[in-house]
Amino acid sequence: MKHFFDSIALAQGSFCCSQDYLDELLEQQEQEVFEKAGILTRIKTGGTITCPACGQHTVSPELRATTDEEAQYVAVCEERDVGTFDFSEQLQSVRLDFTKLAESIAAGLNIHKNVTEHITGQLYGLGNLNSTKGTVKVFLLLNERFNENKTLFEEASKSSPLIILSPFTPPISFIDSVATIPLLDVISVVKKNLKADDTLLNQASHRLFGRNYYEDGTLYVRGNPIVAGIKAGTKLDIFLSFLSSSSNINKAIGYDEILKHYNEKKQSNKIVGGSEQWCHQTLTDLRNKCKDEDKELVDIVIVKGGKKGAVNSLIFKNEA
């Protein structure tokens, strides 16, 4: 699919090609999925198409002869090394609907009816991605012109963080308030459907907001993962899930309450005692799972909360 996006980027807003050329860009299953979504439509050959010789410029083929299955054409390419050439193709060509592409990606990410076309066939606003961390704007850039649109991105990111989906890599040190995600890491063809996975977008939104949180076995501090691979149901998983839950986050939770929750979740005949020692050891275990440079970050996200009743407490802070 990478070659397909390379070609539509070169087309700069209007993409129409022969079936033979499309076969070089997309697998048959991918073509069928794009047709089903209305992204690709088959039309009678005519008008301008992407040059089948250079794959970059547009040409206006002139019909010379036809058979039952193919038409013979002559065309002139802007490339001097190509010039005038003859070619044959099937009687149909294929046209790409850029807006449909943007809408399909937005729908897959649960961003509906918000697509805005900023530059035809090149730049689209997909809408807002809402999460517990806040609202993030999402853009789709189908070419490499990051710097040419930098002012627009900077203005858009002033009111909320911004994520750009693109099949291309942005310049180094682009914009701090903007996250860029490879488009092909987000969309895929699964069982004859175009699927969009919002996992990377959610992770990027956490980083942009700089929040601390625990999710799916990974502890994030300031949006960056510092501990990963914590197994569900283990001591650290129960400890972190409890402290970072929506009802407990940013609140002082007593050592006794933390240990009581652990014992209830483990449902073991062996009751663990000594809440203060247990909590200290759990924090030590957590630090030991971090890289050396990340150990101190544990004390940024989980801080001492002072006395709560007769025991000390801990606070899982979502911002620090």
* Count of alpha carbons within 13 angstroms of residue 270, beta-carbon side: 1
Higher pLDDT: 253 or 92? It is 253
| Cα–Cα distance, 137 to 178 (Å, whole number) | 10
Final residue of a structural domain among 68, 96, 124: 96
Count of domains forming the chain: 3
For residue range 191-229, what is the model confidence (pLDDT) as tens digits? 778 888 888 887 777 777 777 888 889 998 877 888 999
Final residue of a structural domain among 70, 96, 122: 96
Res. 236 pLDDT band, cuts 50 70 90: very high
Q: How far is CA 153 from the centre of its chain?
A: 17
Query: Does residue 240 share a domain with residue 145?
Result: no
Query: Does residue 154 share a domain with residue 78?
Result: no
Query: Does residue 203 share a domain with residue 267?
Result: no
Final residue of a structural domain among 208, 225, 240: 208
Domain of 166, in residue numbers: 99-208
Res. 178 pLDDT band, cuts 50 70 90: confident
| Cα–Cα distance, 313 to 104 (Å, whole number) | 48
Query: Does residue 136 share a domain with residue 52?
Result: no
Q: What is the pLDDT, as a whole number, of residue 313?
A: 94
Query: Does residue 228 share a domain with residue 295?
Result: yes
- Find all residues with CB under 8 Å of 245, minimum gap 6, and list them: none
Which helix (H) or strand (E) segment holds residue 10: the answer is: helix 2-11
Q: Tell me the average pLDDT of the chain.
A: 85
Per cent of the chain over pLDDT 70 is 93
Spatial CA neighbour of 235 closest among 173, 289, 164, 315: 289
Query: Does residue 190 share a domain with residue 225?
Result: no
Contact 204, 253 (CB under 8 A): no
| Cα–Cα distance, 46 to 93 (Å, whole number) | 8
Tokens, residue 112? 């509906």
Query: Does residue 183 share a domain with residue 166?
Result: yes
For residue range 143-175, what is the model confidence (pLDDT) as tens digits? 998 889 889 988 888 888 889 999 998 887 677
Higher pLDDT: 198 or 123? It is 123
Q: What is the pLDDT, as a whole number, of residue 113?
A: 67
235-243 vs 255-266: helix crossing angle, rounded to 10: 130
Q: What is the pLDDT, as a whole number, of residue 91?
A: 47
Q: What is the pLDDT, as a whole number, of residue 88?
A: 78
Query: Does residue 216 share a domain with residue 192?
Result: no
Does 243 have pLDDT greater than 90? Answer: yes
Does 79 have pLDDT greater than 60? Answer: yes
Res. 57 pLDDT band, cuts 50 70 90: confident
Query: Does residue 145 share a domain with residue 52?
Result: no
CATH, residue 295: 1.10.10
Q: What is the pLDDT, as a whole number, of residue 21?
A: 82
Highest average pLDDT, of 72-81, 88-97, 218-227, 276-285, comes from: 276-285
Query: Three-state SS for 312?
Result: strand
Range with the lowest mean pLDDT among 114-118, 151-155, 176-180? 176-180
Q: What is the pLDDT, as a whole number, of residue 180?
A: 87
Query: Does residue 69 share a domain with residue 148?
Result: no
Query: Does residue 228 share a domain with residue 185?
Result: no
The residues that bridge with 187 in the sheet, in sequence order, are 196
Does 72 have pLDDT greater than 90? Answer: no
Query: Does residue 292 share a domain with residue 255?
Result: yes
For residue range 277-290, what is the model confidence (pLDDT) as tens digits? 999 999 999 999 99
